[in-house]
A = this chain, B = another copy of it.
Amino acid sequence: MIFVDSDRLRADFDALSQFGATGDGGVHRPSLGEAHLAARAWLRERIVQAELQFHIDGAGNHSGVLTSERSNVPTLLLGSHTDSVPHGGRFDGALGVVCAFEVLRVAKEHRVALTMNLEAIDFTDEEGTLVGLLGSTAMVGKLKPEHLSSPRGGRDALQAGLARAGLNEQRMLSAARPRESLGGYLELHIEQGTRLIKAQKNIGIVTDIIGIAAYRLAFIGRADHAGTTPMLDRLDAAQGASAFTLAAREIVMHDFPRGVATVGKMEFAPGAFNIVPASVVVSLEFRAPSDDEMERMDQALLECAHREAARFGLALDIEFLGRHAPTLMSQMAQDAFVEACEALGLSSIPLVSGAGHDAQSLASLCPVGMIFVPSVGGASHSPKEFTEWQDCVNGANVLLQAALQIAA
């Protein structure tokens, strides 16, 4: 059995953590921002130094490739993403990218005879600062012009990001890879929850990824003077938005115990102390593990928005931003991970992923699988994110064994 090099992996992880470092253990590396592009330039250099082929596609996905000596074989993708949420943690995504890269280095050093090419990939905009799962959606040919014309991060931010990265929308829309070129996709990620630690297990083997949908809900009233307009004469957008935010939580807690809903942002216009707000735009996201629950939550939350808008005399403008159905992981990949854990003497449990991942996109083209490593305290999308280094190394070794089982 061959193993990853813990020290080399650690050096890469620490180096990557410096890009966009916020000084509190976290990173601020929104997709295609300056810090993210600097991280990618570093990754490119590391790939070239390791004498792997460097590849970048129309969606800006960055890859290192180790080709099989056989020709016309498919590629097993291993990867994750180097972008972060605003003021996020240094493990989410980044750990999966450096582990994938390490797997290729180890395979190359040991001159493993490959039956598939191995590709370590850093997907563009997994987190959705711009669109969400952007690079992987483009790769599987499901990116549509409407994803780019009203992205959830706003059109200006998307255009600025593409310009900074030297990308363009036309090439992005043409970045699809042929189905036959892909042999599978494996990803290592932090759990972003406390189930592994509570169960005292080393590795979580993902069975399903939860479904996710996002809306922008604009509650629209009327701007009025905050001193001269009596309370009862107001059409106050803040009241509708606030009432919806409270009611959405109640609905989910009572009727959807397996789901979550989040108001991550409100934008007030005009947004002054002394003006009754004319509009408040609510960023709503919700998730559930089955199609049926997704469908019912969608209906319940939009009905709630209509009801609360009407209660305060407001109009409601609903913008649907996208949806990912709940996704099953491939049995072949789950089996490979189970065997790898057994071979390495590591404990494992099956887990549902509450977070979205690029594997959701890839699942439409090839077998996909994911493993989780334990998150201390469960903190996620936060500078407090932390995983013990031995757990990171364990995960990397599981990824290595599973990849070799599939591609060697």
Contacts and interface: CB of A to CB of B under 8 A. Distances in A.
Interface of A: 85-88, 127-129, 132, 152, 191-193, 210, 212, 214, 222-233, 236, 238-239, 241-243, 245-246, 249, 252-253, 260-266, 268-278, 280, 283-285, 287, 353-356, 378-382
Contact of A266 (B252, B260, B266, B356): B266
B262 A274 contact: yes
Q: What 10 pairs across the A-B complex have the smallest Cβ distances? A: A225-B380, A242-B242, A226-B262, A228-B354, A192-B228, A242-B245, A227-B355, A86-B270, A227-B354, A193-B228
Question: Which of A85, A262, A353, A355 has the most CB atoms of chain B within a 10 A radius of its CB?
Answer: A262
Nearest to A28: B270
Nearest to A232: B253
A283 to B, nearest CB: 5
A242 B240 CA distance: 10
Contacts of A127: 272, 274
A246 B253 contact: no
A265 B272 contact: yes
Given A223-B381, A228-B378, 14 more contacts: A193-B229, A224-B382, A226-B381, A229-B380, A231-B249, A238-B245, A238-B264, A239-B245, A239-B246, A242-B242, A262-B273, A264-B275, A264-B276, A266-B280
Contacts of A228: 191-193, 353-355, 378, 380
A400 B272 CA distance: 34
Contacts of A191: 228
B287 A224 contact: no
Given A243-B242, A246-B242, A381-B225, A264 B260 contact: no
18 contacts: A85-B274, A129-B272, A192-B227, A193-B225, A193-B228, A193-B229, A222-B382, A227-B353, A228-B354, A228-B380, A242-B243, A243-B246, A246-B246, A264-B271, A264-B274, A265-B268, A266-B268, A275-B381
A134 B263 CA distance: 36
Tell which of A227, A236, A285 has the most Cβ of chain B within 10 Å.
Answer: A227
Given A86-B270, A127-B274, A273-B264, A287 B227 contact: yes
Identify which of A212, A275, A356 gathers the most chain B CB atoms within 10 Å of its CB: A275
B85 A270 contact: yes
B214 A381 contact: no
A223 B265 contact: no
Nearest to A191: B228
Contact of A227 (B230, B272, B356): B356
Q: Which of A85, A222, A264: most chain B Cβ within 10 A?
A: A264
Given A85-B274, A86-B270, A263 B238 contact: yes
A227 B378 CA distance: 12
A193 to B, nearest CB: 4
A192 B128 CA distance: 43
